[in-house]
């Protein structure tokens, strides 16, 4: 065999071997994250809370109907899981059942803005209570903690004009729950016997979403009007110590969750519509952001480097590399390939 032919064969073999060993982008990496709508319900239904149930389905609250809905993540089929909860009592995009959590196979629902006083003027039905309800599997509802009455009896300093507060999110914690109050600017602990204690107090920063992982508690802050990016923050709560700010830089943060790879993600509802206090963002201005080590919040982008656009999201959950989020108007979406 000539030296030239031997060189050609060796070169061909080298090309074959390196062709096999050179890493290639997986289909997962080529596609990148993408947003798909999987379900919708209601007509402008105010939706703020969600969780993944023990059966793997997505459960969301419906404040207008006073109900909890079950959404099959595979088919998008929407069914009613529970009814009979107090409905929202004000003409806003918020109130009634606003969050849900499971402890074992038992559901607990957070209800707010169904009764109380606004600057001394009563609203709603006084028989409807703001607080945490236990939902038995036979459909029976039991009030576990009357947060509205406790809030009226223990007003913040200075006092805020809705005496029962505006509770936003709930997470299981030490046999009970943590609850954020975005109006009274504090975090409450609901004990298993229904007792309530205050565990964190803030200025006018509007605490919203919660995440509890391995005894670490994270919280988002919406920030005061006009909800500028620098006032949208993610904090870590420490028992018996001041909260630590770990990231900032996104408008109207409403939720925080631990996601793929142990990364911490936050949900930005977007640019405030400016209509009034408590109103949502403009449509299609929301973003999913990830907490970076330098304390910034970076928008999640698709395979072309474009930021994912979300429509007024209020809550999110992760299952593997997929995030599920719900829009304030009742759209249910998933973000694949995170």
Q: Encode pLDDT of 98-141 as tens digits.
A: 999 999 999 999 999 999 999 999 999 999 999 999 998 788 89
Residue whose tokens read 């402008």: 44
β partners of residue 255: 267
β partners of residue 299: 289
Alpha carbon 143 to its chain centroid, in Å, reads 23
pLDDT, mean of residues 21-44: 69
b (16+ CB within 10 A) / e for 81-108: bbeebbbbbbebbbbbbbbbbbeeeebb
What pLDDT score was predicted for residue 47? 72
Over 90: is that where the pLDDT of 18 sits? no
Over 70: is that where the pLDDT of 46 sits? no
Alpha-carbon radius of gyration of the chain: 23
What pLDDT score was predicted for residue 245? 97
Q: What is the DSSP string of 16-34?
A: HHHHHHS----HHHHH--E
pLDDT classification of 241: cutoffs 50, 70, 90: confident
Over 80: is that where the pLDDT of 83 sits? yes
Give burial (CB, 10 Å; 0-12/13-18/19+) of 230: exposed
Which CATH fold topology does 32-336 show? Methylamine Dehydrogenase; Chain H (2.130.10)
What pLDDT score was predicted for residue 277? 83
Q: Please choose, from the candidates 78, 80, 39, the residue with its C-alpha nearest in 3D space to the C-alpha of residue 329.
A: 39
Over 60: is that where the pLDDT of 178 sits? yes
pLDDT, mean of residues 12-41: 59
Residues with Cβ within 8 Å of residue 154, at least 6 apart in sequence = 198
Q: What is the pLDDT of residues 273-325, one digit of tens each?
A: 999 888 899 999 999 999 999 999 999 999 999 999 999 999 999 999 999 99
Over 50: is that where the pLDDT of 8 sits? no
Apex 43 CA angle, 69 and 301, nearest 5:
75
Q: What's 184's DSSP letter?
A: T
Over 80: is that where the pLDDT of 53 sits? yes
What pLDDT score was predicted for residue 215? 81
Alpha carbon 37 to its chain centroid, in Å, reads 17
- Note the pTM of the prediction, 2 decimals: 0.89
Longest dimension (CA), the chain: 101
């Amino acid at each position: 065999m000539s030296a030239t032919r031997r060189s050609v064969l060796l070169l061909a073999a080298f090309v074959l071997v390196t062709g096999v060993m050179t890493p290639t982008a997986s289909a997962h990496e080529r596609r990148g994250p993408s947003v798909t709508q999987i379900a919708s319900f209601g007509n402008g239904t105010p939706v703020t809370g969600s969780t993944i149930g023990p059966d793997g389905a997505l459960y969301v609250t419906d404040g207008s109907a006073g109900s909890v809905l079950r959404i099959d993540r595979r088919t998008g089929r929407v069914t009613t899981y529970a009814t009979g909860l107090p409905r929202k009592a004000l003409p806003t995009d918020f109130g009634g059942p606003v969050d849900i959590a499971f402890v074992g196979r038992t559901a607990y629902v957070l209800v707010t803005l169904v009764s109380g006083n606004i600057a001394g003027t009563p609203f709603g039905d006084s028989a409807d209570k703001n607080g945490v309800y236990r939902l038995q599997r036979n459909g029976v509802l039991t009030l576990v903690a009357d947060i509205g009455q406790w809030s009226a009896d223990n007003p913040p300093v200075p006092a805020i004009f809705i005496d029962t507060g505006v509770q936003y999110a709930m997470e299981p914690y030490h046999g009970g729950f943590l609850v954020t109050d975005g109006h009274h600017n504090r975090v409450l602990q609901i004990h298993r016997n229904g007792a309530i204690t205050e565990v964190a107090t803030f200025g006018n920063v509007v605490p919203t979403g919660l995440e509890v992982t391995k005894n670490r508690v994270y919280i988002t802050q919406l920030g005061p009007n006009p909800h500028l990016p620098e006032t949208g923050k993610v904090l870590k709560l420490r028992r018996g110590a001041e909260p630590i700010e770990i990231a900032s830089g996104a408008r109207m943060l409403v939720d925080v969750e631990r996601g793929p790879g142990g990364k911490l993600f936050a949900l930005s509802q977007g640019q405030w519509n400016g209509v009034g206090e408590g109103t949502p963002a403009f449509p299609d201005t929301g973003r999913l952001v990830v907490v970076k080590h330098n304390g910034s919040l970076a928008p999640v982008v698709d395979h072309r480097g474009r930021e994912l656009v979300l429509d007024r999201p209020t809550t999110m959950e992760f299952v593997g590399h997929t995030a599920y989020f719900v829009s304030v108007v009742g759209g249910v979406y998933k973000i694949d390939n995170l």
